[in-house]
Amino acid sequence: MPSWLRILMEQCWHQNPDHRPDFSFIKGILCAKVPARSVPIPVVDVNPELDAAALVELAVKTAKARDLDRASLMFARAAETEHTGAQTWLAWYYQNGLGVLERSLERAAELYEKAAERGNVGAQERLAKWYLEGIGVSVNAGRAIAMLERVLAVQERVLADDHASLLMTQNNLATAYRDHGQAKKAVKMLEHVLAIRKRVLGEDHPSLLITQNNLATAYRDGGEVKKAVAILEHVLAVQERVLADDHPDRLMSQVNLAEVYRDNGQVKKAVTMLERVLAVRERILAEDHPYLVVTQNNLATAYRDNGQIKKALAMFERVLAVQRRLLSEDHPEMLTTQNNLAELYRDDGKVKKAVTLFERVVAIRKRVLPKDHPSLLETQINLAATYQDNGQPDQAIAMSEHVLAIQKRIFAEDHPSLLMTQSNLARVYRKNGQFKKAIVMLEHVLTIWERIVAEDHPERLITQNNLALAYRDDRQVKKAATMLERVLAIQERVLVKDHPTLLATQNNLALAYKDGSQVKKAIALFEHVLAVQERIFDEDHPDRLMTQNNLAYAYREGGEVKKAIAMFERVLAVKERDLVEYHPSLLMSQSNLAEAYQVDGQVKKVIALLQHVLAVRERVLPKEHPDLMMTQNDLAVAYMSDGQFKNAVPILERALAIARNVLREDDPDLLDLQGNLADAKAALEKAKRNAINMKYCFTVDGVRLASMYISVGHFGEGVGLLEHVFTVRSRTLAFGHQDRLQSQLALGTAYHMIGQVWEAVLVLEHLVFTQRQMLTQDQPNGLASQQALAQAYVTVGEAKKAVVLLEHVITVRNNILKEEHPDLLASQAMLAAAYEDTSETDKAVEILAHIAAVHGKFLSEEHPERLETQNKLAMAFLATGEAAQTVALLEHVVAVRFRTPGEGNPDRLTSEMILALIKAVLESTEECGTAKIADHGDATKHAVECDALEASHAGNDTAAEAAEG
């Protein structure tokens, strides 16, 4: 469009009606720019024998004389003779509905196709543009390129290198290269065009500035964002010198530069620039002007990237309100706004609203666009991602695969849109637990990117990042960390230190370090990322909150539970202030805080939080949504930790019934539910039978109720389910897959708990041998297996073997964990018990005293684990004959337990009975002195343990009777 015409149109759209030109002014401009032609209408009789060329010439004269009806008939007559000029003219008439012809883009496309095949350059140029934009034909950048290359070959033979038509064709061909994903070819051609225009034009010539704008876009598509920024800043500097602040070209350059700033991570600069453009356009344009709407859309997107979700939502909704008043429901601009608004609804946690809006846009675009139109395919991709977030994985996969099938038919295998769809489908596979399929697809995508772009191209790096995440999901943590370290090295070379993409990679690498038991490295990297984000982002920016969440997780993994809780609470406070109660991010933060409370022994807080989360999710999510099932599972586990097995079982049964209908039999979530239900039923059975083996309560620090899923003396439903889980995983997972090994550990532990100890030893010895071949010595799962095997050794009387294993575990954990980490303390407690079994009681006392000292620094006085350790230490003192210290410690434990639990609590009753029994033994041996206690300490302790068991049973009977009453 000529610049004078664009300016005239801007004036006609002015916001203030008084500033719009009247008809006489418009007519004057048009007459000056398009002089009237005084051509007499020829009076002719069309001779049937007249040749096609003469007929076309006559038709052109007739058209100039404004007799379009007769001209259209003449062009149609000449086109029947396969005259390419006539076909091109007739296509133009069909395209615009001129003369006696009805408008038909499809018929126009057919005629352009015929003329193009016979070498008509004009038809080739026109049809190439249509193939790029999907007008009258399906989008096919490859066809467009082929046609434009033929046109260019002809023009290069006959035109000078600075001819306007030649340069225009080269510009259009570069655009086609860009659309076809051939950014390097586009850059090369535009650099050539720019060099010629610089030679013949002044630096402020509009055509030169347009070429620079196009080249910047090509640089951006090719991943050379810094070059794009430099060119656009130069273009804008020239335009600011020669153009008014409201000139359309200057405003367009500002919009383009803002978009490149966003890509370069300079989001605040983008927001500032777009706000400036919007202020100018709101001053001079009507509220429904397309350019104003585009600016508002762009600014809303920048607000979203900057974490200003509320501002973005308000702007999109305002734009949509104006468009609904003025445009038809199938207008492309309104559909684009709805697509953007739906994306924002999804980001803001309003997933159901997002699904509804995306489905509406897809339905309309299906009605008005061909099925392979880019806009339709883009919306379907967005809808697929939203289905996944809404717990509809089958629909998400089906739609993604549908889009991919269409794109494979129309695009070359290295087309960016095709590669992007494959990456999106891999994401859906990942979210649906199909990690292997995701990995295969991403490895294919990465292979192509590595073939066609440089190592620092953004899309190539993003694909490597996504592949690393898939490796991490599949427990291939070393591969994930190695790939992310490689990506990070490149990004640190080419990106500014506070670029969001760089920070995201650092975040992902820290997660991989955490999963690979390199918790200290993970914490250091998370803290670095957070320090940068605190400098550049507001406290409610999603990226900053995500990093705080990840850091809190790492603190928890590193044993710094108090720091984890403090950070989780800080994140939650921000989200509760800014988000609706059903926002997924808010609910996830509440779940994360509940997990931390669970580790810290604050079970009542856990239950209260998860009851709230479950109530909200049951109200807003479909019953088969994974997040809902996860919450049911977590709440059931919390009930079990609090001894509320009757509450846990129905929740798990409800969740499992749904999971069996929607998940594969080898899905990890289904297997976890089955295992937890087995735990709950078995623990409930134990409570009824009063048959908990108290030896484990004394020798295992912080025994998890989830481990007590087997009834004493028989397998029961718990072992059956665990054997089923292990069988399924053995059949479906690789030999060394972590989930398979985890099931083997659970089964070995189960055998141990029901008394089939030698079976447990065999299973666990095989597991430890396997893990030693595959894992580093500090891998947490390997250490847990060695610890379980040590317990089994103690039970079968091979305590010395247990001591060797546990001393190794503790040596490793001392090197990688802080002194207060629960896993380290648990290992130390087990080693103390093993020392007691090998009669090394002094060593046992030393370890238990250390554990008690650590608990004293980090746990509250009434924390169950702290009291249990003091209980064990008292028993160890008893074994060494230190009766006074035994009594003092037990009196303290009883006093604390008297203050906190209920009257019939088994722990309190146990402590009271032990203390009473020891005092009775001391009174009966007063005449013999302390020597008798020392000589018979072990026997006395054994008697105390047996009586304590009876006391515990009595306590359970009391509790059971109260519950039944």
What are the pLDDT digits (tens) for 338-349?
Answer: 998 898 888 777
- CA–CA distance, 294 with 839 (Å, rounded to integer): 80
254 burial class (0-12, 13-18, 19+ CB within 10 angstroms)? buried
642 versus 683: the higher-pLDDT residue is 642
- 14 pLDDT more than 70: no
* Least confident range of 642-651, 704-713, 761-770, 861-870: 704-713
Residue 528: pLDDT band with limits 50, 70, 90: very high
Distances (CA, A) of 598 to 580, 647, 746, 850: 25, 17, 21, 24
Among 461, 440, 439, which residue's Cα sits nearest to residue 450? Answer: 461
DSSP 823: H
Q: Answer left, alpha or beta for residue 710, where phi above 0 means left and psi between -120 and 50 means alpha.
A: beta
pLDDT for 710: 41
873 versus 705: the higher-pLDDT residue is 873
Q: What is the mean pLDDT of residues 208-236?
A: 87
Q: Which residues contact 767 (CB under 8 A, 6 or more apart)?
A: 741, 744, 745, 748, 785, 789
- CA–CA distance, 376 with 363 (Å, rounded to integer): 9
Q: Is the dihedral of CA 287, 290, 293, 298 positive or negative?
A: negative
Residue 29: CB atoms within 10 Å? 16
- CA–CA distance, 642 with 654 (Å, rounded to integer): 20
One-letter amino acid at 887 equals V
Residue 685: pLDDT band with limits 50, 70, 90: low
Q: Are 445 and 483 in contact, with CB atoms under 8 Å apart?
A: no
pLDDT for 925: 60
Residue 19: pLDDT band with limits 50, 70, 90: low
Q: What is the mean pLDDT of residues 190-207?
A: 90
Alpha-carbon 35 to chain mean position? 60
Q: Are 260 and 232 in contact, with CB atoms under 8 Å apart?
A: yes
pLDDT for 280: 92
Q: Are 473 and 465 in contact, with CB atoms under 8 Å apart?
A: no
Angle ∠(790,796,800) on CA atoms, nearest 5 = 50
Tens of pLDDT along 913-950? 777 776 666 666 655 544 444 444 444 444 444 333 33
> Highest mean pLDDT range out of 9-23, 612-626, 896-910?
612-626
Locate tokens 């608990």: which residue?
Answer: 855
Among 871, 903, 863, 869, which residue's Cα sits nearest to residue 887? Answer: 871
Q: What is the mean pLDDT of residues 682-705?
A: 38
- 439 pLDDT more than 90: yes
SS3 state of residue 180: coil
Locate tokens 């994930």: which residue?
Answer: 480
Token reading at 280: 């100018």
Residue 660: CB atoms within 10 Å? 13
36 versus 826: the higher-pLDDT residue is 826
Residue 841: pLDDT band with limits 50, 70, 90: confident
For 285, phi and psi rounded to 5 degrees? -115, 155
- CA–CA distance, 240 with 206 (Å, rounded to integer): 13
Distances (CA, A) of 116 to 109, 123, 361, 798: 10, 5, 35, 89
Alpha-carbon 26 to chain mean position? 54
- 37 pLDDT more than 90: no
677 versus 752: the higher-pLDDT residue is 752
pLDDT for 531: 93
Residue 953: pLDDT band with limits 50, 70, 90: very low
pLDDT for 933: 43
411 versus 524: the higher-pLDDT residue is 524
Tens of pLDDT along 761-774? 888 888 888 878 76
Q: Judge if pTM exceeds 0.75.
A: no
Alpha-carbon 265 to chain mean position? 19
* Least confident range of 66-70, 172-176, 595-599, 727-731: 727-731
Q: Are 729 and 671 in contact, with CB atoms under 8 Å apart?
A: yes
DSSP H/E element including 342: helix 332-347
- 8 pLDDT more than 80: no
One-letter amino acid at 145 equals I
- 441 pLDDT more than 70: yes
* Least confident range of 15-29, 179-193, 209-223, 529-543: 15-29
Q: What is the mean pLDDT of residues 796-823?
A: 85
- CA–CA distance, 497 with 493 (Å, rounded to integer): 9
Residue 530: CB atoms within 10 Å? 19
Going along the chain from its start, the domains and CATH numbers come out as 1-33 (no CATH), 579-644+651-681 (1.25.40.10)
* Least confident range of 103-112, 248-257, 738-747: 738-747
Across the chain, mean pLDDT equals: 79
Q: Which residues contact 128 (CB under 8 A, 6 or more apart)?
A: 143, 144, 145, 147, 148, 151, 172, 176
* Least confident range of 88-92, 193-197, 644-648, 681-685: 681-685
126 versus 911: the higher-pLDDT residue is 126
